[in-house]
Amino acid sequence: MFKGLFKNFSKDIGIDLGTANILVYVKDQGIVVNEPSIVAINNRTEKIIAVGDDAKIMLGKTPQHITVTRPLVDGIISDFEVSEKMIKHFIEKVHKESFTFMPRPRVVIGIPLDVTEVERKAVEDSVMGAGASEVLLIEEPMAAAIGAGLPIQEASGSMIVDIGGGTTEIAVISLGGVVSWKSLKLAGDKFNEAIIQYARDKFNLLLGERTAEKIKIQIGSIMASDKPVKTTMRGRDLLTGLPKEVQVTEANIREAIIKPIKLIVENIKATIENTPPELVSDLYERGMVLTGGGALLKGLDILISQETKMPVHITDEPLTAVVRGTGKVLDDLDNLREILLPSTKDMGWG
């Protein structure tokens, strides 16, 4: 009885639980949370002292008794307890303005394509432990495709490439299901790591993670532009141990990240090769859609189009496609429930 009462006062929400960012969609309100999936913990008290934007500011700047951590690695929960507390923090933040003292929302949440049953149960348990009354799971590329407005329930092929922080999800969808797919532990975080390694090898410069990400966003590009841009790369000189700065061009950053980019392109081509000919015909005509933060890399759509001989489109607001998809599921649950994954409880895990 009380569970139903709390549910009536709670707001149904959709969550994109990303390696880099967590986004929360509230029914009838839209996206209300878009913050880094980062948590700061006081090791002396084992209490969480900051979450999201507040925790990201602390990256690389903390004393020994404070640890700043990402509870998700490659799109999968690596720290169950911290993930649960992080999700609970955001659920409570969403309900803070209402009079709900014990929120019990229904939650639609995206998960990568290749998660195991154990990893799927970890997501369900974390969200339930954070206060949800019901957890509905959806594959991330399916959510991204819905968010991008693709006709996923029609008898025609739709292709989505979602390049997030920890994973790249490549999927061909038809009749409400995934026909062929690839899930790679290769995405935005790996681009940052490639820039850090390049700075070390080329300039004997030790960069921080936040600095590498900032440079990627500022001048990262896949194709040469008419007016090459430069920026300053600041870090610690590995030879002297002192602060150092160097000027880098977009050509430098392109050289740094081109290897992981080419791997993604090769897997896109492999996914197309494994797709039935009738659907490939649809894809050739309609092309594929890029979503996720990686879609914002300048020239990536042009490179993929050249390599696959197919049209490539970047969806509007690619960073929010997955969470907008979960929101559309909430808004039309009766028609879209069939595309959701079965609960692990229904599969004998509960």
SS (H, E, C) 86-147: HHHHHHHHHHCCCCCCCCCCEEEEEECCCCCHHHHHHHHHHHHHCCCCEEEEEEHHHHHHHH
Judge if 200 and 62 occupy the same domain.
Answer: no
pTM of the model: 0.90
**Cβ atoms 70, 51 nearer than 8 A:** no
Q: Are residues 314 and 328 in the same domain?
A: no
Q: Is residue 80 located within the same domain as residue 169? A: no
Q: Which residues pair with 35 in a beta bridge?
A: 22
Q: How many domains does the chain have?
A: 3
Residues 248 and 295 in one domain: no
Strands 168-174, 39-42: pairing is unpaired
Task: Look at the chain and count its residues.
Answer: 350
Q: Which of 256, 290, 307 is the last residue of a domain?
A: 256
Residue 350 included in any domain: no
Could you tell me if residue 249 is inside a domain?
yes
Q: Do both 180 and 218 map to the same domain? A: no
What whole-number distance in Å separates Cα of residue 207 and Cα of residue 210?
8
Domain coverage including residue 301:
149-186+260-318
**What is the C-alpha separation between 211 and 133, in angstroms, rounded?**
40
The rounded distance, in Å, linking the Cα atoms of 346 and 104 is: 21
What phi and psi values does residue 229 have, to the nearest 5 degrees? -110, 155
φ/ψ region of 152 (left if φ > 0, alpha if ψ in -120 to 50, else beta) reads alpha
pLDDT, position 90: 87
How much is the pLDDT for 152?
92
pLDDT of residue 99: 54
Q: Are residues 218 and 100 both part of a single domain? A: no
Query: How far is it, in rounded angstroms, from Cα 74 to Cα 183?
Result: 10
Q: Which amino acid is at 81?
A: E
CA–CA distance, 218 with 6 (Å, rounded to integer): 45
Q: Which helix (H) or strand (E) holds 44?
A: none
Contact between residue 96 and residue 59 where contact means Cβ atoms under 8 Å apart: no
The last residue of one of the domains, among 209, 230, 256, is: 256
In a domain, 50, yes or no: yes
CATH number of the domain residue 245 falls in: 3.90.640.10
What's residue 293's pLDDT? Answer: 92
Q: Which of 324, 315, 329 is nearest to 147 (CA)?
A: 324
Does 344 map to a domain?
Answer: no
pLDDT at 9: 54
Q: Are residues 182 and 291 in the same domain?
A: yes
Q: What whole-number distance in Å separates Cα of residue 331 and Cα of residue 334? A: 9
Q: Same domain for 287 and 175?
A: yes
Q: For 156, how many CA atoms within 13 A lie in the half-sphere containing its CB?
A: 11
Q: What is the pLDDT of residue 6?
A: 45
Q: Does any domain span residue 348?
A: no
pLDDT tens by residue, 313-339:
999 999 999 999 999 999 998 899 999
Does a structural domain hold residue 136? yes
280, 176: one domain: yes
Question: What is the C-alpha end-to-end distance of the chain, expressed in Å?
Answer: 22
Task: Please indicate, yes or no, whether residues 106 and 76 belong to a single structural domain of this protein.
Answer: yes
The per-residue pLDDT for 61 is 86
Domain check: are 123 and 169 in the same one?
A: no
How far is Cα 273 from Cα 308, in angstroms, rounded to an integer? 10
pLDDT at 1: 42
Residue 250 within a domain: yes
pLDDT of residue 350: 55
Identify whether residues 154 and 288 lie together within a single domain.
yes
At which of 256, 271, 301 does a domain end?
A: 256
Q: What is the CATH number of the domain that holds 108?
A: 3.30.420.40
- Name the stretches of the chain with pLDDT < 70: 1-10, 97-102, 345-350
User: What pLDDT sits at residue 4?
Assistant: 47
Chain centroid, CA 111 distance in Å: 10
- Rounded distance, CA 18 to CA 74, Å? 9
**Rounded Cα–Cα distance for residues 106 and 131 (Å):** 9
